């Protein structure tokens, strides 16, 4: 079972992962689950009506817009990083937060490294399954490494030129 780090305000901390990641061919367990986008599109309506919390794993080559109708009923959207240098999940996170108004958990899964923490937080991620064994203390420090930011993002931090003007 992967270790889960969640943000609580500006601080990262260990969290119990109550969701079970379920493969496309696996038997559905009891409780809360995270499914692939394809399986969710096939079985999601039934699962959502069973009063369980449901999450969807979106791979880097899939579009989060496919979930637009169901987002209010989802608890988690897990965005996959197949390799640390593949940044498509950053775009998906911003789309979820800014355009689609998703307020649930946006989780980073896959090749998630502490060096990415600051960028992930800025894009709207609030839960992480680190692949490099990072601890919440290290994650908090990495997420807040830079005091100034130079462009707007999903975290709504004040950008440097506005900070200088005030």
Query: Residue 149, CB half-sphere, CA atoms under 13 Å: how many?
Result: 17
Strand partners, 5: 14, 128
pLDDT in tens, the chain (166 residues): 458 999 998 899 999 999 999 999 999 999 999 999 999 999 999 998 888 999 999 999 999 999 999 999 999 999 999 998 899 999 999 999 999 999 999 999 999 999 999 899 989 999 999 999 899 999 999 888 877 767 777 777 777 777 788 8
The Cα–Cα gap between 49 and 22 comes to 18
The Cα–Cα gap between 89 and 70 comes to 19
Query: Nearest Cα to 37, choosing from 73, 53, 6, 61?
Result: 61
């Amino acid at each position: 079972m992967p270790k889960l780090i969640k943000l609580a305000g500006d601080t990262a901390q260990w969290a119990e992962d109550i969701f079970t990641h379920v493969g496309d061919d696996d038997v559905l367990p009891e409780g809360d689950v995270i499914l692939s986008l394809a399986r969710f599109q096939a079985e999601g309506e039934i699962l959502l009506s069973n009063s369980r919390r449901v999450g969807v794993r979106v791979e880097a080559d899939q579009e989060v817009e496919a979930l637009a109708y169901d987002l209010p009923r989802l608890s988690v959207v897990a965005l996959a990083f197949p390799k640390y240098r593949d940044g498509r999940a950053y775009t998906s996170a911003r789309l979820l937060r800014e355009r689609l108004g998703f307020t649930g958990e946006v989780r980073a899964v896959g090749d998630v490294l502490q060096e990415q923490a600051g960028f992930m937080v800025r894009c709207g991620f609030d839960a992480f399954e680190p692949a490099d064994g990072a601890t919440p203390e290290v994650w908090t420090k990495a997420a807040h490494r830079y005091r100034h930011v130079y462009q707007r993002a999903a975290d709504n931090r004040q950008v440097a030129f506005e900070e200088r003007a005030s």
